[in-house]
Amino acid sequence: MSKAHNLLPAFSLKNNIGEDISFPNNRQSLICFVKEDCPTCKTVMPILEACYKAFGDSIDVHLVGQTHAGNLQLVKQFNLSAPMLDDSSLKVSFAYDVEIVPTLIRSDQEGREIERQEGFVREDWQNLCTTLSNDLGLPAPEVDWEQFPEWRPGCGSLSVDPLIADRLQAEAENSPLRARKIEIAAADDEFEFMFDQGFTDGLPLVPPTPERVVRMLTGTRRDSQEVVAIVPPNMGDATIEKIAINAVMAGCKPEYLPVVIAALEAVCTDEFNIHGVMATTMGASPVMVVNGPIRERIGMNMKLSALGQGSRANATTGRALRLAIRNIGGAKPGGTERPTLGNPMKFTMCFAEWEERSPWDPLHVERGFKKEDSTVTLLCMTSGPTLIVDQTSLTAPQLAGSFGLALANVHHPKAYMGSDALLVICPEHIDTLLKDGHYSKEDVRNRILEVSKRPVKELLADELSGVGIPADRFAAMPEEMQEASLAKFRSPADIHIVVAGSDAGKFSGAFHGWVTGPMGSIVVTRKIEE
């Protein structure tokens, strides 16, 4: 038994003969929530009927039933004269925080809760009847208390059924949802409707019903109306709710939502420049690399097929980011998004680094975070993963040299010092790099720069290729520069390295970047708030 004095929500429900019954009604009330298939509810029916006969002229006695057919069965089975109110929508049960039936609530004339009991404890119900009898100056109900058990637990209220509670929360007055609702005709196909409205990336979407969005919001403690980013090009407000809607459509689980939120925060920074990324005709797209403990908690793939299909966490998290950019920011092909060809990363590209298989600091630690932090790093890439096949290199310098030769072709063999790259090294290649002792990430980067160097004279545009340094620009260079060599990348920092993939197979991968630096996109890492 519990006592409180909070003001109970007002309601109006129809009774079993179709009359509208309202609460509060300037009288004390006994309200009991019941359902037909609950044995304890059936146990207390004779007591409730006796209370109605004893006190019904002085207070309101309401039986609130949770299913329409069940209500009628209870009225018939127990020959009730007490009014049975129909809460088959369960909105009143939800508003009253009913978790167990029967729940018996006593209120004062103004509708303030005086007392609440869950289940059945004979002594408590008997004391309540005695108290009412004394307060009202009326005879106590005619109940043979010895025929009732000392106690009996109640049953779960339908309003807390996981399949129903999310819908009720979405429909409640204090619902966390504020986004515009779109009604579709009963005969419309909801999947085709979303295609027609342009919400989708070309693949079917999960309909973002209110209950699904409420369920998605359980994945974060942040307020649903918090604006976490302004998304170009339409400068849309990305609230937590709107991000959750797109996560639902992408097929995410609630536990993925913090990753999506952090990723959207990252791409909407000036440094990442998502407007430029999506508008370029080169077809650039965000690539997400997840680090830290959250990888295991949400089941991300960092091993076999880490960059491919098969992992819900990888695929839907990356897709949710792209859908949010599309639907909140308005970046759609044919609008401000103008890729000449595009690439599959426009659908999704998200994976986790296999930190435990790496001999080096993981990506997020390199970028200034603690190892125990969960982070997502956003890189702007135009193509990939491009396979680097090397099954025969036996030493670290030889293998790192192979990486350098492969990366020398980023964008074009004569396009130098304008881009960055993401190198994903597979476990068997890691073993080769460590075969003769420790070979650091910096060793790999420096070897790539060394091997990718080419004389400036070989990078001139010529009759074989118009790509390269124009002749007039070359002629204006100082002689020492004309005789120099250039590495593919401006600095070792433009070569981002992570470890992922299966233990079997000497196949690493590379993603080719866009324009590196303030004129293009800068890599951004965000801590994930769980």
Span 24-54, pLDDT tens digits: 999 999 999 999 999 999 999 999 999 999 9
CA dist 526 and 519 (Å) reads 21
Residues 109 and 209 in one domain: no
Domain extent for 398: 190-452+487-527
Mean pLDDT over residues 482-497, rounded?
A: 96
pLDDT digits (tens, 9 = 90+) for 356-379: 999 999 999 999 999 999 999 999
Mean pLDDT over residues 109-135, rounded?
A: 95
- Tally of CA atoms within 13 A in the half-sphere of 527 that contains its CB: 9
pLDDT digits (tens, 9 = 90+) for 285-296: 999 999 999 999
Residues 501 and 414 in one domain: yes
Question: φ, ψ for residue 22 (rounded to 5)?
Answer: -115, 155
Residues 112 and 252 in one domain: no
Residues 375 and 499 in one domain: yes
Q: What is the DSSP letter of 63?
A: E
Q: Which residue type does 507 have?
A: F
Residues 148 and 197 in one domain: no
Could you tell me if 379 and 285 are in contact, meaning their C-beta atoms sit under 8 angstroms apart? no
Residues 120 and 262 in one domain: no
CA dist 253 and 312 (Å) reads 9
Q: Please work out, in degrees rounded to the nearest 5, the angle formed at the alpha carbon of residue 90 by the alpha carbons of 86 and 94.
A: 130
Q: Count how many domains the chain has.
A: 2
Residue 174 lies in a domain: no
Q: In which band, very low, low, confident or very high, does the pLDDT at 183 lie, cut at 50, 70 and 90?
A: confident
We report the CATH number of the domain holding residue 67 as 3.40.30.10
Q: Return the closest-CA partner of residue 6 out of 127, 105, 133.
A: 105
Q: Return the closest-CA partner of residue 396 out of 426, 359, 434.
A: 434
Q: Which of 160, 182, 211 is the last residue of a domain?
A: 160
Residues 293 and 387 in one domain: yes
- Least reliable range by pLDDT among 1-10, 24-33, 194-203, 488-497: 1-10
Helix axes of 312-327 and 257-267: crossing angle, nearest 10 degrees:
50
CA dist 323 and 200 (Å) reads 7
Mean pLDDT over residues 270-287, rounded?
A: 96
Q: Which of 112, 145, 160 is the last residue of a domain?
A: 160
Helix axes of 68-78 and 39-55: crossing angle, nearest 10 degrees:
60
Could you tell me if 11 and 105 are in contact, meaning their C-beta atoms sit under 8 angstroms apart? no
pLDDT at 258 over 70: yes
Residue 384 lies in a domain: yes
Q: Which residue type does 418 have?
A: G
Residue 155 lies in a domain: yes
Residues 248 and 392 in one domain: yes
State how far the alpha carbon of 345 is from the alpha carbons of 35, 89, 302, in Å.
52, 44, 17
What mean pLDDT is reported for the chain? 94
pLDDT digits (tens, 9 = 90+) for 432-449: 999 989 999 999 999 999
Residue 463 lies in a domain: no
Residues 146 and 211 in one domain: no
Residues 291 and 423 in one domain: yes
Residue 63 lies in a domain: yes
Residues 274 and 413 in one domain: yes
